[in-house]
Chains A and B, each alone.
Chain A
Amino acid sequence: MNKLKSAVLYEYLTKTRAMGIFYLIQYLITALIFSIVAICTNGNEIGSNALEFSSVVFVSVIGVLGYKEDFKALLQNGYTRKYIFWSTVCMFTLLAGTMALIDTIIGNSLHYFNDNYFTLYGSLYGYGNVFTNWLWLTALYLMFCSLFYLAVLVINRVGKTVSLLIGVGISGIILLVTALFRFVFTDEIVSKAAELTMKAMGFMSDGTTNFFFPILSFLVIGAIFGIGSYTVIRRTELK
């Protein structure tokens, strides 16, 4: 247990510096844009919204680094793949939680002081419940971490050519599914699917909103990616 803690701390603390730099740059740019827009529009408009999107990009990068950097460093220090996997999952959770906390606090504060600014969560589910906002963001970030972690593991495993083929395959499937929905499936199926998707995102058919469904959906999708990652990493060799 102690060893796992050390590994989690190592993975987490070697990312915090990057996280600090990320926020510093993001808010410098945001401040710049805010000032320019504010000056140009006499303070009527606001420069950007939903800063959480850039955090999504950042956690995706962390998902990649979680394999690229930490796998070999921990292997050098005698960790098994099982331990490395769990410590990376813990690191993702900690990091997603931290960033979600920062983004929730800053986003809601910005919205509080300026109505024109909206947060990603607020624009979908409204403002007020800061705690579910934080949970939702954490789950969202975690899902992207797992997605990119799985992606980099698979790419590393199958090699460049096969990865490209898989990429082509996946985009093909997306095109195919879209086409199926538009031209093949009956209206009934399409509306059922839409309803299910809305439900997964918390928008119930009776018009109410369930705040925990979207969190649960993200976690389930994240867990599926995680299970995939676990099966791949268990047989991954150092290159």
Chain B
Amino acid sequence: MTAIQIKNITKSYREVTALDDVSVSFEFGRIYGFLGRNGAGKSTLINIIANRIFADHGEVLIDGAPAEENMGIHEKLFCMSEADLYDRDLRVKDHFKWTGRFYDGFDLNKALELSRKFNLDTKKRFKALSKGYQSIFKLIIALSLNVPYVIFDEPVLGLDANHRELFYSLLLKEFENNERTFIIATHLIEEVSGVIEEVVLIDKGKVLLQESVDTLLERGYSVSGMAREVDCYCEGRNVIGFDELGSMKIAYVLGEKTALPQGSSLQISAMNLQKLFVKMTGKGGGGNE
């Protein structure tokens, strides 16, 4: 099977369970949004996929082959990480040169061309780059590398609006020219909602949902009106959250929209991804309640 398959992964740090029996799969040829709040377990899962840390239980398969300590998948996966793992004393162009020696699929000319587009000075040492340009440097490497699975962990951290736009358009161009899987882990859902096709939502170490963006937008909606009527409508439906304004109540529902009863004073409106995301992950920790 051409996919990254994550099977029953559990990972704990002392008493904290970072990932709790997580199973999910990322298929080849799609752009995924891997969404979750800070500390939801995104980086932990990415680090396990990229063989940087080990799972306590479960396994990760890449095109059917185990990902843990397997040099056979070297040319299949690349993970741009939020953490700085690069030698800080090396110059950007030397990093490009070395990446080219480590990976057969690295296109040095593309990396140089992208550096020009982003105005990245390739003569600078990594440590001399600003936070934003360190991210850009890592993005350029990931975009210039032709491997089937590329993971971006918080790719636009520290980038200004122009560079973000540029990144998303370059990513889409790469995707069109050469189909592969991009997984974008982020908490900035609004920004990526046009770019991604599928959403994997993780919260407190558990996968809350895996769904296509279109389906989510079609199935997610809100119902507002008098509290009593709203409660009545919501009975038996998959309600993911509420808001209350005096005697008015808004319920956020996931599921098939059904016609309102005749003469009902309820209002049905659609719900965007951001709202859905906030409602599903709102409880606890982040001060949303």
Q: Within the complex, are A and B direct neighbours (CB within 8 Å)?
A: yes
| Chain A residues within CB distance 8 Å of chain B | 3, 6-7, 9-10, 14, 69, 72-73, 75-83, 234-235, 237-238
Are B101 and A10 in touch, CB under 8 angstroms? yes
The contact sample of 17 A-B pairs, CB cut-off 8 A, is A3-B71, A9-B101, A10-B98, A69-B87, A73-B85, A75-B50, A75-B85, A77-B99, A78-B74, A80-B71, A81-B69, A82-B69, A237-B54, A238-B47, A238-B52, A238-B53, A238-B83
Once A80-B51, A80-B71 are accepted as A-B contacts, the answer to whether A72 and B85 lie under 8 Å apart by CB is yes
Report if B61 contacts A (CB, 8 A). Answer: no
| Chain B residues within CB distance 8 Å of chain A | 47, 50-54, 69-71, 73-74, 77-79, 81, 83, 85-87, 89-90, 98-99, 101-103
Q: Tell me how far the C-beta of B101 lies from the nearest C-beta in chain A, rounded to whole angstroms.
A: 4
Which residues on the A side are within 8 Å of B78 (C-beta)? Answer: 78
Are B102 and A78 in touch, CB under 8 angstroms? yes
Which residues on the A side are within 8 Å of B77 (C-beta)? Answer: 78
Once A3-B74, A82-B69 are accepted as A-B contacts, the answer to whether A77 and B103 lie under 8 Å apart by CB is yes
Are A7 and B102 in touch, CB under 8 angstroms? yes
- Give the residue of A76, A83, A234, A238 whose beta carbon is less than 8 angstroms from that of B71: A83
Interface-central residue, B47, B74, B85, by most chain A CB under 10 Å:
B85
Are A76 and B74 in touch, CB under 8 angstroms? no
CB closest residue in chain A, given B147:
A78
Are B87 and A73 in touch, CB under 8 angstroms? yes
Question: A164 vs B86: C-alpha distance in the bound complex, in angstroms?
Answer: 29
Question: A75 vs B86: C-alpha distance in the bound complex, in angstroms?
Answer: 10
Interface-central residue, B53, B71, B102, by most chain A CB under 10 Å:
B102
Which residues on the A side are within 8 Å of B83 (C-beta)? Answer: 238
Q: Tell me how far the C-beta of B180 lies from the nearest C-beta in chain A, rounded to whole angstroms.
A: 15
Q: Tell me how far the C-beta of B143 lies from the nearest C-beta in chain A, rounded to whole angstroms.
A: 16
Once A6-B101, A10-B101, A14-B90 are accepted as A-B contacts, the answer to whether A75 and B71 lie under 8 Å apart by CB is no
Q: Tell me how far the C-beta of B149 lies from the nearest C-beta in chain A, rounded to whole angstroms.
A: 11
Which residues on the A side are within 8 Å of B89 (C-beta)? Answer: 14
Which residues on the B side are within 8 Å of A10 (C-beta)? Answer: 98, 101-102
Which residues on the A side are within 8 Å of B99 (C-beta)? Answer: 77
Which residues on the B side are within 8 Å of A78 (C-beta)? Answer: 50-51, 73-74, 77-78, 102-103
CB closest residue in chain A, given B69:
A80
Once A237-B54, A238-B53 are accepted as A-B contacts, the answer to whether A79 and B74 lie under 8 Å apart by CB is yes
With A7-B102, A82-B71, A235-B54 given, can you name 10 additional A-B contacts, CB distance below 8 Å?
A3-B74, A6-B98, A9-B101, A10-B102, A14-B90, A75-B50, A76-B79, A76-B85, A78-B103, A238-B85
Which residues on the A side are within 8 Å of B70 (C-beta)? Answer: 80
Shortest Cβ-Cβ A-B pairs, 3 listed:
A76-B85, A238-B52, A237-B53
Question: A80 vs B74: C-alpha distance in the bound complex, in angstroms?
Answer: 9
CB closest residue in chain A, given B52:
A238
Question: A81 vs B78: C-alpha distance in the bound complex, in angstroms?
Answer: 16
Q: Tell me how far the C-beta of A157 lies from the nearest C-beta in chain B, rounded to whole angstroms.
A: 13
CB closest residue in chain B, given A75:
B52
Interface-central residue, A14, A76, A77, A237, by most chain B CB under 10 Å:
A76
